[in-house]
Chain A
């Protein structure tokens, strides 16, 4: 499979007057053409920052990519000039934000906002841009498109607005779509519709999708692969099947146990005690050590090695070490 995006050792920090926040601390992953990678984690885990870093949309100051490489189709994104970056944004790579209620400019018509990217990137003449806009409205399932183009955002419901935002992101036929919590602000029924729309669009256009979410239900329905982030680190990554049925990191296990399931009966929902570490001064060891029920001495001092279980499944955890075998067995016996 062709790799479209490759991120290596990405570090992002934010300088605030309270100190330096190390929001992303060495993230590696790659994305194949036409697949959906879900990045999962709780708020503050660095998943949105990672997404924004790929777009180079980290507000600077205070934020900065301090190390690492981001290769998009062989081009090094971190080295592009702001001008070159603009030709990439919205054209080859697009982004969808969490809240459709605020992502649209209240004073411009939907039509203007839909067409402006197209006109900027592909210098499309007005009537062709409008044709394309109408087509996209159709794709995202908005009827009466001709009339709707002349309307303003406040005349649409939340779900409709998110459809418009999606249309806006797809209008230039991007190869990569980054969706940052695209369904979080929506009603549950609308969520399902939007997820279906994503699948439909991917089938149609072959776009690669990075889906940022904290909702495992969303992941289960459309992701091909899953990456779990915690405290600025990508602690586990694998195919959907691997992560859901054979989670290795205690944090991933905890996450999965905190989701209600209909297919398993009598299972109690558990929550993970404690809070994530302070990223002003992250611990030198495993950031999850303080909340983990398998913590060993080593976890508090050294960050775990990356262990590859299969070519697609990897995890950062000391329990994978041979010397920790007895801990694992003792726990399983319990």
Chain B
């Protein structure tokens, strides 16, 4: 287990280093300095920038100092917003985005798994077909289109929910719905197909031969095995939800990190772009790592295999 964790950690660090280096290479390769006076609005910012990025030093020194400041989670000042550092923006926006993301993933997981189970239990029945048709639609409709559709129908037309902003649970409904539908559909399809596979396994037949209740067979024997593949795709889904927040926050005018990020892209606010990219990547890679760990804990075969404790 320890070796497994160390190996994952090493790969994680290399991936992070690539991202950091990539941002640096891109910064210096942008034609004309990204930090020249024309793109920044005043001299105070210009001074802060030069101080943070050590622009008067050679590239190698710049790179090393950039690595150092990144490691200490200091992403420097914003170009466009005076007296705001990237850290300030992250501190303000990230909690909101995190809240949106967490609610989304919980909604997607619970509803996706339930939908998948129901479909698998009614295999080839009407419910199965309807659930899977719904799932294909959910995968096919991009979240930004779903978001505008929801705004038009439920917010503007029926006035059931507020159009935008982020202040009450009611404000959460539409953005979460728009963001969760895709992942939910993917989870539902995966859960269904693995459930169908698991239900034909011998140990399920054995459990039935033992006279266990359908409920116990379902929860204890089938579901746990069926959910393993769902755990493995959680990393990919998290990445999708995270990038999804960029557009969803923009459409619903939610003051989260995603909105700041998109604004920084439109304004070519390079320090914000770089800082946010590095931060997001670190966050995602950490999540991937946690998902890996969770998988190792869920499946006893992985743990023991790594310990070499097999006694055959």
Direct A/B contact, Cβ within 8 angstroms:
yes
Contact of B311 with A97 in the complex, beta carbons under 8 Å = no
Measured between beta carbons, the chain A residues less than 8 angstroms from B210 are 89-90, 94, 116-117, 120, 168
Stretch at the interface among A100-108, A191-199, A323-331: A100-108
* B8 interface residue (CB < 8 Å to A): no
- B213 → chain A closest CB, angstroms: 7
Size range of the chain B interface in the assembly: 20 to 34
Closest residue of chain B to A178 (Cβ to Cβ) is B209
- B306 → chain A closest CB, angstroms: 13
A181 to B312, CA, bound (A): 22
Contact of A155 with B311 in the complex, beta carbons under 8 Å = yes
- A240 → chain B closest CB, angstroms: 27
Chain B at the A interface: SS class: helix
Contact of B300 with A152 in the complex, beta carbons under 8 Å = yes
Measured between beta carbons, the chain B residues less than 8 angstroms from A156 are 311-312
* B299 interface residue (CB < 8 Å to A): yes
Closest residue of chain A to B208 (Cβ to Cβ) is A57
* A10 interface residue (CB < 8 Å to B): no
* A317 interface residue (CB < 8 Å to B): no
Measured between beta carbons, the chain A residues less than 8 angstroms from B32 are none
* B202 interface residue (CB < 8 Å to A): yes
Contact of B209 with A94 in the complex, beta carbons under 8 Å = yes
Closest residue of chain A to B299 (Cβ to Cβ) is A107
- A83 → chain B closest CB, angstroms: 9
**Mask: chain A, 117-144; 1 = CB below 8 Å from B; 0 = not:** 1001100000000000000000000000
Closest residue of chain B to A117 (Cβ to Cβ) is B210
* A165 interface residue (CB < 8 Å to B): yes
- B310 → chain A closest CB, angstroms: 6
* B309 interface residue (CB < 8 Å to A): yes
Measured between beta carbons, the chain A residues less than 8 angstroms from B207 are 105
Measured between beta carbons, the chain B residues less than 8 angstroms from A120 are 210-213, 216
- A322 → chain B closest CB, angstroms: 46
A-B contact pairs, 8 of them (CB 8 A): A87-B211, A89-B211, A94-B209, A97-B209, A106-B299, A107-B298, A117-B211, A168-B206
User: 18 new A-B pairs (CB below 8 Å) besides A88-B211, A165-B206?
Assistant: A86-B212, A87-B211, A94-B209, A104-B206, A105-B221, A108-B221, A116-B210, A116-B212, A116-B216, A116-B220, A117-B212, A152-B300, A154-B301, A154-B304, A155-B309, A155-B312, A156-B312, A157-B312
What 9 pairs between A and B have smallest CB-CB spacing? Answer: A90-B211, A89-B211, A90-B210, A102-B202, A117-B210, A95-B209, A105-B203, A152-B300, A86-B211
